[in-house]
Structure 1
Amino acid sequence: MTNTYTSTNPLGSERIGKLIIKFAVPSIISLVFNSIYNIVDQIFVGQKIGYLGNAATNVIFPLTVLGIALSIMFGDGGAAFVSLRLGRGDKTEASKGAGTAVTMSGLMGIFLCIVISLFLEPVCRFLGATEPVMPYAVEYGRIIALGLPFSMFAGCGNALIRSDGRPRLSMLSMIAGALTNIILDPIFIFGFDWGMAGAAWATIIGQFLSAAITFVCLRKTRNIKITRAYLVPKGGMIRGVAGLGISSFITQAAIVVIITLQNNLLTRYGLASAYGAEIPLAAHGITMKVNQIVMSICLGLASGCQPIMGFNYGAGQYDRVRKTILRCIAGSVLIMAAATMVYQLRPMAIVRIFGSESELYNTFAAKSFRIFLMASVLNGFHICTGIFFQSIGKPLYATVNSLARQVLFIVPASIICCRIIGVEGVLWAGPLSDVLAFLIAFALMMRELDHLKSSPVLTGREILANG
């Protein structure tokens, strides 16, 4: 006996390669354009204001990442919840999970906006802002905070739209917002001479447009129906959705911890070096944001595979899950390998995009790319592993995978290396933690792949009995 819903849904029957292209390409484009939000401002600000402006955007960047973290927790968690329930044929529970995710992302966005607005200056100081950088950071951050509810709603909603089987609409939302930001940035920064404020306003107008398109798309879903009743969050459903998305939250939230720690280490040990405090702060921030764009390609590939893996795992079609994750890993590793070669061979070609600075600045920026991202090829595997464990409903494995690099290794490595070799210790902590985290991710993945290989394919009756 076969599961009728599984056999008629393309996620359970169409060729894996065709499905990956269908879902991953729009997801990659969406996330790349979303990452552009964080780097376009920096390009134009660098041209207009210089490295102090870039340092200010780096100080505010952790607040943006925190918003992304909360959005992804409910977005990825909701998407995994929806995919697993649709794989079992339970559209009602899938719809309830989607409604809960939408409401919680909106509420978290409003809460974060209020808190940041009230405590912006002490927060900037905590995030590593020096006195020369502080005025730019406050001017930029006060406006960016207003856009967080819109960006968080759009991020969560787009993950749900992909899990509903409409990745192209998700892509449209993110592209529209990013293009708006790109067009308005030079107009506001140079044309109106608004400087940092112009960059911030261009960003949140783009975020508002993305949120508006996402809202319209969520009202016209196919497999899930988000009614008013389903928008009321309930404790059990919140735990179920957030539990599946917790590893994504940890991954992103840990970036906030890392950037905050590294910003403070860079300014503290930079003062004792020839570079000073502001040069390492600005240059390393560019390295992080450029790499985030490449990482977003891998994350887009993995997120695009998430509905395929989640649906087929829920349907008991473990052979299809295994094929999907192996192809996802292969693609991600190739992407990161190509990026690593560019980081090593042509770092200054990237640095010059953000404006012309002193030779001292260029020297540290080139070192940041070459040293900190030396082992970044391993991150392609790491990203796929985290999304895979989310997709199959194993949040504990996903959380361990996320914590390994983001907290357990890079935090102590940064502190210890700085005490030994000074400001460049922040850079050497990157490859050290990448290698150690890869070993843990590899062990967890091999264990689960063996389990999938040995597990029998379930029949429709068995699926319903276990559901």
Structure 2
Amino acid sequence: MSHSHAHTRDLDTLPVSTLFWRYAIPSIVGMLVTGLYAVIDGIFVGHYVGSHGLAAINLAYPLVMVQVGLGAMISMGAATRIAIQQGAGQEQQARGTLLAALLLLAVLGAAIPLLGLPNLQSLLGWLRADVQPQVAEQARAYLWWMLAGGVLTMGPMLLTYLVRNDGKPRLATALMVLGALLNILLDYLLVGVMGMGLAGAAIGTLLAEAVVVALGLAYFFSRHAALRLSLNALKPDMSGLWPILAMGVPSLLMELNLALLLYSHNYQLLAWGDDLSVAAYAVAGYSESLFTLVIHGLAVGMQPLLGHATGAGQPERAREALLHGVKVGLGIGVAALAVVQLFPAWIAGWYSDGSQDLIDAGSRALRLHLLAMPLDGLVVVGCTALQAMALTRLALGVTISKTLLLLPALSLLPLWLGQNGVWLAMPLVNLLLGLLVGGLLWAQSRRLRDARLIEAA
């Protein structure tokens, strides 16, 4: 019996709860490792640079997210197209697509510093990162390096996606883990020991990413690669450029959406507070991202089970996987909410150089901004579940409505509640969306139950 048959048989027969954890745990670990290094960046910056550093990195970050989005676009587009071509046995075309993706990476990697660096001052102004001299100085150093190394910000995602697609998921994960560990080590040396501030944080990130890119490329020129490249036959498939971009656009839009929300929060916090409020938002944001990563990992782990059961016409197993995911997601959300409400000063202390102001502001941000964590988790699990059940439009609708609701909430609530209004905008939107997604999932669960009853009858 071949490996793939055994894999399908497991999906059909093993208890859903067993399968759920078998898929969810590696996925959660992978998510945490990739996301953790941004959080550890934050901890080093908070400890060694202080609240100005946290404010600076948070104000500059929307532009870094645009780069990540461009990387995600090439990665998703290329991975999808190559998987389809390999499935059809078109090895030569798949190799052409792989080279086209690397060409796109090189072109974008050159365009970002060429366009960005001459306009650095106006970009900092647009990000509102020039409001306070100490913040501006750190933000400029960070952004200069991140724009200069644009190709390295986008590269690791592309290469890990392509390696995973080439049938080496373990190697892809190992590359990600290596990059994250190197980043932490370099952060410690450059920011902690050598006191290089945000420039050190950026250089550390780029060096770690350079290692991942180099190893990923080396793999494709080695005999271990299914889609092996050779130096004398580097012919990218130019006709593949457009399909790669088109297939990857949803990934870019998702990142741009997140960048817009970060930018809007920063903008309103500077309007209703100061750079300390932005630093407090960084504390809440880093803490929230850890929670979101766990939930995301959980959702990604649930996706193959739900997708398989939906495709295999097993409504009972699909419903079980769905309910299991929702229950675990809500459970983690309630536990996280309890920790944040009970120990906010302890959490904020992780990001502080000992400044009591930052701990107080951070505690308030944590308590208010993360009030709706269980529902936030429900929205993430719900969107992934709807996608896995091929209800893509509904999932997309929820994602878009989050932004459509959040932007007016961010501008209107502070008029009534001052700075607290900025903190409470997101919990309010998550409350509304959580109830909506809860309703959608309940309807799906009933539909699956009815489908089983009809089968049984």
TM-score, structure 1 normalization: 0.80
AA aligned opposite 1:261: S
Structure 2, gaps ≥5 residues long: 453-457
Tell me if structure 2 keeps the 8 A contact 1:80–1:306: no
Compute the displacement of 1:449 (Å). Answer: 4.7
Tell me if structure 2 keeps the 8 A contact 1:67–1:109: no
Q: Percent identity?
A: 24
1:183 counterpart residue number: 185
2:244 counterpart residue number: 238
AA aligned opposite 1:365: G
AA aligned opposite 1:28: I
Compute the displacement of 1:439 (Å). Answer: 2.7
The 1:9/1:161 distance shift into structure 2, 3 A limit, reads farther
Matched, 1:434 2:430: yes
2:266 counterpart residue number: 263
Structure 1, gaps ≥5 residues long: 271-276, 457-467
- Superposed counterparts of 1:444-459, under 5 Å: 444-449=440-445
Compute the displacement of 1:401 (Å). Answer: 1.6
Tell me if structure 2 keeps the 8 A contact 1:60–1:141: yes
Compute the displacement of 1:207 (Å). Answer: 1.5
C-alpha separation in 1, matches of 2:443 and 2:355: 50
Tell me if structure 2 keeps the 8 A contact 1:294–1:339: yes
The 1:287/1:258 distance shift into structure 2, 3 A limit, reads same
C-alpha separation in 1, matches of 2:329 and 2:216: 27
AA aligned opposite 1:410: L
2:299 counterpart residue number: 302
- Superposed counterparts of 1:66-465, under 5 Å: 66-75=66-75, 90=88, 92=90, 99=98, 108-129=108-129, 130-132=131-133, 133-159=135-161, 161=163, 166-215=168-217, 225=227, 232=238, 234=240, 237-238=243-244, 241-242=247-248, 246=250, 248-270=251-273, 277-310=274-307, 321-405=318-402, 407-449=403-445
Q: Deviations over 1:304-340 (max 9, x none)?
A: 3445555665666666555444433333322222211
Compute the displacement of 1:179 (Å). Answer: 0.8
AA aligned opposite 2:178: A
TM-score, structure 2 normalization: 0.82
C-alpha separation in 2, matches of 1:187 and 1:194: 9
C-alpha separation in 2, matches of 1:447 and 1:256: 32
Q: Deviations over 1:187-234 (max 9, x none)?
A: 112433322221111111111223334445667899984877786553
Compute the displacement of 1:73 (Å). Answer: 4.2
C-alpha separation in 2, matches of 1:108 and 1:390: 30
Tell me if structure 2 keeps the 8 A contact 1:371–1:427: yes
Bigger mean CA offset, 38-47 vs 11-20:
11-20
Compute the displacement of 1:177 (Å). Answer: 0.9
Tell me if structure 2 keeps the 8 A contact 1:140–1:200: yes
Number of positions where the alignment pairs a residue of Structure 1 with one of Structure 2: 441
Tell me if structure 2 keeps the 8 A contact 1:7–1:13: no
Tell me if structure 2 keeps the 8 A contact 1:189–1:199: yes
Tell me if structure 2 keeps the 8 A contact 1:55–1:285: yes
The 1:264/1:162 distance shift into structure 2, 3 A limit, reads same
Compute the displacement of 1:264 (Å). Answer: 1.4
> Aligned Cα RMSD in Å?
3.7
C-alpha separation in 2, matches of 1:219 and 1:22: 33
Bigger mean CA offset, 184-193 vs 88-97:
88-97
C-alpha separation in 1, matches of 2:258 and 2:235: 35
AA aligned opposite 2:202: A
C-alpha separation in 1, matches of 2:142 and 2:104: 26
The 1:344/1:230 distance shift into structure 2, 3 A limit, reads farther
C-alpha separation in 1, matches of 2:303 and 2:321: 9
1:459 counterpart residue number: none
- Secondary structure at 1:291 match in 2: helix
C-alpha separation in 1, matches of 2:389 and 2:90: 20
Compute the displacement of 1:235 (Å). Answer: 6.6
Compute the displacement of 1:180 (Å). Answer: 0.7
2:59 counterpart residue number: 59
- Secondary structure at 2:350 match in 1: helix
Compute the displacement of 1:426 (Å). Answer: 0.7
1:274 counterpart residue number: none
Compute the displacement of 1:298 (Å). Answer: 1.4
